[in-house]
A = this chain, B = another copy of it.
Amino acid sequence: MTPTIGVFDSGFGGLTVLRALIARAPHARFAFLGDSARLPYGSKSRRTIARYAAESARFLVEEQGAEYLVIACNTASALALDAIQAAVPSSIPVIGVIEPGAEAAQRASKTGDVLVIATDATVQSHAYAAACQARGLRALEKACPLLVPLVEEGWTSPDPFSLDLEAYAAQAAPAPPQVAVTAEVFRIYFAELTAQAASLGLNPDTLVLGCTHYPLLMPLIQQAIPPNMRAIDSAESAAEAVCKLIEAGAAPGTGDSAGAKRVPPNAQLRCFATDSVEKFERLGSRFLGRPVGQVQLVDLGG
């Protein structure tokens, strides 16, 4: 059977997680919901976030038939994972972005010391630090509030998802001034973070990108960090975790994964937003790496 995967975010940054999922499970059906009318979640209380996220989760399960739920939003993953699981049948696996990111950091790190960059709200929740600590890692977190607006303004490298760094470096044209600004902003944040790590006696060898917008900065980040440091994209890590669950047949209705492979690799995708369909359609394709198509407006109440 073809699994139906529901992906939820407070905005459209979670489309980078959807992109990673489609690359790994091209035979699946996807429904993406961006609760854009009620963003930013980061400034709201845990109780309000839990209510919003539970409503969104129910929409994906009850109205879109999702058999897996991916919470492609760091704030909701940090503060509302339990509430979301309680809002849907217990047979539906609910996967956030934080645990898979911490797990990938554990696999990557030899020194056990990890750096995490994220939004202010995610850092204030200390969810990554807790998830890393539970795995025996020491994690130092830093809020980088300018990176999201820089990504939304499009001041990234021409093909932000390209990891072909040689081709990137060999580009004849110099980086346009916009991209240079973004690189400099990352350099400033990263220098502050590594200086703080050194002052604490840490020896970090892993950098976790703890925000769904940051995968679009991957080429810039790879160029700026030391060659022996590994950058972990938590969107990729979450997608990997979901696909492992699907392969293990952990959800009802997935069953025969050989059967799934017979379905042509042509992901079926429906996108929904609670507001700002225009911005979603305009910016979403850059995050998804392909056209998002028509975005349907849904009303989940106030």
Binding site for B on A (CB under 8 A): 36, 43-44, 145-146, 149-150, 152-153, 155, 177-178, 180-181, 184-185, 188, 275-276, 279, 302
**Beyond known contacts A145-B153, A146-B150, A178-B188: 5 more, CB 8 A cutoff:** A43-B279, A146-B149, A146-B153, A177-B188, A181-B181
For A184, list chain B residues within 8 Å (CB). 177, 180-181, 184
Q: Which of B153, B177, B276 contacts A43 (CB 8 A)?
A: B276
In the complex, are the beta carbons of A275 and B149 less than 8 A apart? no
CA distance A43 to B275 in the complex (A): 8
A214 to chain B, nearest CB (A): 15
For A177, list chain B residues within 8 Å (CB). 184, 188
CA distance A6 to B65 in the complex (A): 51
For A188, list chain B residues within 8 Å (CB). 177-178, 181
A174 to chain B, nearest CB (A): 14
For A279, list chain B residues within 8 Å (CB). 43
Closest chain B residue to A276, Cβ basis: B43
For A153, list chain B residues within 8 Å (CB). 145-146
A136 to chain B, nearest CB (A): 32
Q: Which of B44, B145, B149, B276 contacts A145 (CB 8 A)?
A: B149
CA distance A225 to B185 in the complex (A): 23
CA distance A197 to B184 in the complex (A): 29
Closest chain B residue to A40, Cβ basis: B40
For A275, list chain B residues within 8 Å (CB). 43-44
A102 to chain B, nearest CB (A): 27
Closest chain B residue to A39, Cβ basis: B43
A46 to chain B, nearest CB (A): 14
A38 to chain B, nearest CB (A): 10
A143 to chain B, nearest CB (A): 10
